[in-house]
Structure 1
Amino acid sequence: MKDAIYGGVNAAVLTAMGPDLSPDLNRMAAHARWLLANGCNGLGVLGTTGEANSFGLHERKQILEGLIARGIPAARMMPGTGCASLTDSVELTKHARDAGCPGVLMLPPFYYKNPSDDGLFAYFSEVVNRVGGGVMIYLYHFPQQSAVPFSLDLIGRLLKAFPGVIKGVKDSSGDYANMQAMVRAFAKDGFEVYSGSDEFLQQILAEGGAGCITAASNANSHWGGIVYAKRTGPEADAAQAMLTATRRAATSVPLIPGLREIIARSTGDAGWRVIRPPHLPLTQEQAEKVWAAWSAAGAIPLPGLAPAKAAE
């Protein structure tokens, strides 16, 4: 897809925290700069991997403002703004718009299960009308986590009602057929489809999708950048194989603490292991497992980082 706003590789950025579980904006901004210098076209901040729903409204604003103040371009960020509360979703979306972000990633209202498409259409209509324009909304399809999927019919209705506002989707379902159906149904209208699974990047690009927004990009974005730049050929195929291998390595343990472990060992910064409950750091056995899996894939040391140090 040409001219996609976030076209390419977008990391679902980990949120760094201090010992008291408050956001560590200096550490997070440094990581964001490394991502942008090592294969990432954009940054999905405050998503699932960033533990957004473990942070309060004011903390989420503080994180976005803090990254911008530390030189991370607002134009390269897609903040997550979807909440169970309608008014919180509106407030965070306006905040992202006013900060200069071109788009936001929005979960459906996820507390009440099995809402109808009519109910979801009403919710997103309220959000769009209350925000009042100036920012594009990307739908976050992650039914395993939210238990509230976006049907093709609902997406079509939203696109018809709000052209140019409902701009794309992140599909974290792991169902390539669903991603493919979204591209075939809506990409012709400029709808940007992003895979939430690294293993589908090359396929979705060939299909006409816009790229990916993935957790493992926190550590494998170097190879994602090669796939996005090359698309086909031996170098792209090898890079895609690395994306697939590292994704499988990342999911061999609980994903978010596993990625924190990889970054902690790769940087020698144990602070990356700090995580908000109900998530927990990995056990020593899990930590060794995920490190061994990334090493076996050939992804250690991470390109652009200092040589890996021993675990602390």
Structure 2
Amino acid sequence: MHWEGVLPAITTPFTADGQVDHEFLARHARWLVDNGCTGVVALGSLGESPTLRFEEKVAILQTAVTALGTRAPVVAGIGAVGTAEAVELARQAERIGCSGLMILPPYVYAGDPREMLQHVATILRSTRLSCMLYNNPIAYRTDFLPEQIARLADEHPNLHAVKESSGDVRRITALRALHGNRLAILVGVDDLIVEGVRAGAVGWIAGLANALPRESVALFNLARRGPSPKLEKLHHWFLPLLRLDTHNKFVQLIKLVQQETGTGSERVRPPRLPLTGAERKAALALIRSSLARRPKEPALATRARP
């Protein structure tokens, strides 16, 4: 598992009757890789993992692994209410053939550091797969501090990466100061990607890549090369859309962008509901305005839709 490049936090597509659309999921995963993404991360926050039953999660991982084969890695989001279920999901992901795990804190109970670190350590010990810790204190009310992450990495050799979603770019520099290049750091907040790369991040767990993979890959690659007029122009265009990833209804918003680009549907699973009324009107105005000014360079032209 190489923790680098653009790895979309792939959305979970649903049919009209609310079931997981495995046929579309397979096409979508292949299309993302066709358009330059280095792999996919399934069952994350954007994948609506808390609303999925255990057997649905296993089936989604199987579909993604079968669709991509040896072309690109599938990373399994390991999130659950309890540690035992998380361990079982990690073992199933390894059995299916996933290349890595993204370890989330428990969904409901946000305990003290001793409890949360023990939860992560138990999952790390249960698998031989390469693992990435997902730090998102805003969503999960658990904040893994750089010093705690460094200790986990010292004690568990299969912890190789951190998805940093605190929104504080200083966390990236702090992790690098503590561990150098021992841990790959990946940005988990879309509108922080340029700053994150400048601070030393080597990858991006991207949301808007579900609808705009070529633009996402181009932005990431330009950011890694350093400041340039081309980077500034693309970033300026993309930023209003990237900010949708930081909204409380980011799942509905990103799926709405997918629908507008013909790369998915806005269907979500309750308790989420599609946007309506003035909220939907405002979102569509922003999305359509941005898409009307979409860069036309050949290098950014997306390939056939999934």
TM norm structure 1: 0.85
**1-side partners of 2:287 and 2:69: how far apart?**
28
Q: 1:162 pairs with 150, 156, 159, which one?
A: 156
Contact 1:169 1:192 in 2 (8 A): yes
Quote how far apart the aligned CAs of 1:80 are. 0.3
The one-letter code matched in structure 1 to 2:138 is Q
**1-side partners of 2:149 and 2:281: how far apart?**
42
Offset from partner CA, 1:262-311 (integer Å, 9 cap, x none): 21232186xx122111111011433332232123332399942679xxxx
Contact 2:3 2:161 in 1 (8 A): no
**1-side partners of 2:186 and 2:149: how far apart?**
14
Quote how far apart the aligned CAs of 1:210 are. 1.4
Q: Secondary structure at the match of 2:8?
A: strand
Distance 1:289-1:7 versus aligned 2 partners, 3 A rule: same
Q: Secondary structure at the match of 1:167?
A: strand
**1-side partners of 2:216 and 2:57: how far apart?**
27
Distance 1:277-1:305 versus aligned 2 partners, 3 A rule: farther
Q: Secondary structure at the match of 1:18?
A: coil
Contact 1:168 1:193 in 2 (8 A): yes
Distance 1:293-1:253 versus aligned 2 partners, 3 A rule: farther
Q: 2:219 pairs with 227, 235, 250, which one?
A: 227
- Does structure 1 residue 130 correspond to structure 2 residue 136? no
**2-side partners of 1:268 and 1:82: how far apart?**
26
Which piece of structure 1 moves more, 227-236 or 102-111? 227-236
How does 1:230-245 map onto structure 2 within 5 Å? 230=222, 231-232=225-226, 233-245=228-240
Which piece of structure 1 moves more, 177-186 or 146-155? 177-186
- Does structure 1 residue 119 correspond to structure 2 residue 119? no
Q: 2:137 pairs with 136, 143, 168, which one?
A: 143
List, as ranges, runs of 4+ consecutive aligned residues in structure 1 with deviation greater than 6 Å. none
The one-letter code matched in structure 2 to 1:140 is Y
Quote how far apart the aligned CAs of 1:162 are. 0.9
**2-side partners of 1:282 and 1:73: how far apart?**
37
Q: Secondary structure at the match of 1:16?
A: coil
**2-side partners of 1:289 and 1:71: how far apart?**
36
Q: What is the RMSD computed on CA atoms of the aligned residues? A: 2.5
Quote how far apart the aligned CAs of 1:159 are. 1.0
Q: Secondary structure at the match of 1:140?
A: strand
Q: 1:59 pairs with 56, 59, 63, which one?
A: 56
Counterpart for residue 28 of structure 1: 25
Contact 1:183 1:209 in 2 (8 A): no
The one-letter code matched in structure 2 to 1:146 is Y
Counterpart for residue 251 of structure 2: 256
Contact 2:189 2:245 in 1 (8 A): no
Q: 2:176 pairs with 179, 183, 187, which one?
A: 183
Distance 1:94-1:136 versus aligned 2 partners, 3 A rule: same
Contact 1:74 1:99 in 2 (8 A): no
- Does structure 1 residue 90 correspond to structure 2 residue 82? no
**1-side partners of 2:219 and 2:256: how far apart?**
25
Distance 1:160-1:103 versus aligned 2 partners, 3 A rule: same
Distance 1:56-1:249 versus aligned 2 partners, 3 A rule: closer
TM norm structure 2: 0.87
The one-letter code matched in structure 1 to 2:259 is A
Segments of structure 1 that go 5 or more residues without pairing to the other structure are 308-312
Segments of structure 2 that go 5 or more residues without pairing to the other structure are none
- Does structure 1 residue 265 correspond to structure 2 residue 263? no
- Does structure 1 residue 15 correspond to structure 2 residue 26? no
The one-letter code matched in structure 2 to 1:126 is T
**1-side partners of 2:201 and 2:177: how far apart?**
9
Counterpart for residue 293 of structure 1: 286
**2-side partners of 1:22 and 1:285: how far apart?**
28
Q: Secondary structure at the match of 2:126?
A: helix
Contact 1:220 1:299 in 2 (8 A): no
**1-side partners of 2:249 and 2:242: how far apart?**
12
Counterpart for residue 310 of structure 1: none
Q: How many residue pairs get matched?
A: 297
**2-side partners of 1:66 and 1:114: how far apart?**
33
Contact 1:16 1:274 in 2 (8 A): yes
Contact 2:33 2:72 in 1 (8 A): no
How does 1:183-222 map onto structure 2 within 5 Å? 183-186=176-179, 188-222=180-214
The one-letter code matched in structure 2 to 1:162 is H
